[in-house]
Structure 1
């Protein structure tokens, strides 16, 4: 491990964030520990707080990095998508959550401090994911209704998230739903069709 003087502040920030993100993937939100991150990189816990300011800020950084990975995941799915690109988005959502469950759950387990504002750089990173969904929704809507794409995309993300969350925590199994991804896609297309969308029109 390099000495403290060997790292610039930017290098130290990346070192902490990379280790913290890896630890979150390993342990999940409930068992995550900034002290363990410090131990693994060979620095004091105070160094982490000096760099990020607070545990809350570190968690925001971790979750924002997950959003970047998630957006890249969806782009990869869309790159090999067939005619139904909406289906590729839904599949990508479920697939990412299933393969990165601890990171995915941490996004929703973390509650920012009351009154805290999302730093603009993190807001832009997170907007990359919703921007992908908005673009694909707009492509299947008729021209006259493309102005509704952003609001509709937000609702559809919430719909898919609910199905995915219930699938991963076992609720759908208890309810007897054996194909939650297919159910989510069906509900998405019902909403899109009601807005005038046509499959394969993107």
Structure 2
């Protein structure tokens, strides 16, 4: 089973993350098996604990991979979109929804994996999460003329993300359809634009 000499530590980590991510996409969080992910990589489940320290550490790394893919998805959605008007804000919101739709199991795994708040998260995992938020900070900061590092803008961005996330989560779960609403992305965008317009007026 084991192939310890086949990979460097960095290659092994990347291999296990790729296999874990592929399995999450296929099965979803509730049916995820670290043992199966390790088997597909050609290693025993003990290797995962040796590399990541714990199952939580492994799942954090797998979910961080999703965050990195998500960041690339947003940047591609923004590529070539003009800075005039609200086009880039609209592109961001709609890309949030399209990524979640195309990677539903991996997207939901980010939020299904709950860890103790005191759990220490590896620097590379923190960076993956912050990288995604930084894109939104940048775009909203540019639109408002405040810059990405403005404290008030950063607080606003996190509230806007929560708004969009709520709409998206209800949509993927099917709850939005039960409310007889058929355009959650459009409604999320409307709420975001309303808030941004109000901020500009204040």
TM-score if structure 1 supplies the norm length? 0.91
Equivalent residues in 2 for 1:180-191, closer than 5 Å = 180-191=184-195
Deviation digits for residues 63-96 of structure 1, max 9, x if unmatched? Answer: 1111000000000000032441000000100000
In the other structure, the counterpart of 1:200 is: none
Distance in 2, Cα, partners of 1:53 & 1:183: 42
Equivalent residues in 2 for 1:74-113, closer than 5 Å = 74-82=74-82, 83=84, 84-113=87-116
The 10-residue stretch of structure 1 (38-47 or 26-35) with the greater mean CA deviation from structure 2: 38-47
Q: 1:181 to 1:47 in 2, by over 3 A?
A: same
Q: Which blocks of at least 5 consecutive residues in structure 1 are unaligned?
A: 198-202
Distance in 2, Cα, partners of 1:137 & 1:10: 35
Match of 2:137 among 104, 117, 134: 134
Pair 1:193 & 2:193 matched: no
CA-based RMSD: 1.9
The 10-residue stretch of structure 1 (54-63 or 10-19) with the greater mean CA deviation from structure 2: 10-19
Distance in 2, Cα, partners of 1:95 & 1:86: 14
Q: 1:38 to 1:139 in 2, by over 3 A?
A: same
Give the total of aligned pairs.
Answer: 197
In the other structure, the counterpart of 2:182 is: 178
Q: Which blocks of at least 5 consecutive residues in structure 2 are unaligned?
A: none
Equivalent residues in 2 for 1:5-24, closer than 5 Å = 5-24=5-24
Distance in 2, Cα, partners of 1:169 & 1:159: 16
The 10-residue stretch of structure 1 (162-171 or 117-126) with the greater mean CA deviation from structure 2: 117-126
Give secondary structure in 2 for the equivalent of 1:117. coil
Give secondary structure in 1 for the equivalent of 2:200. coil
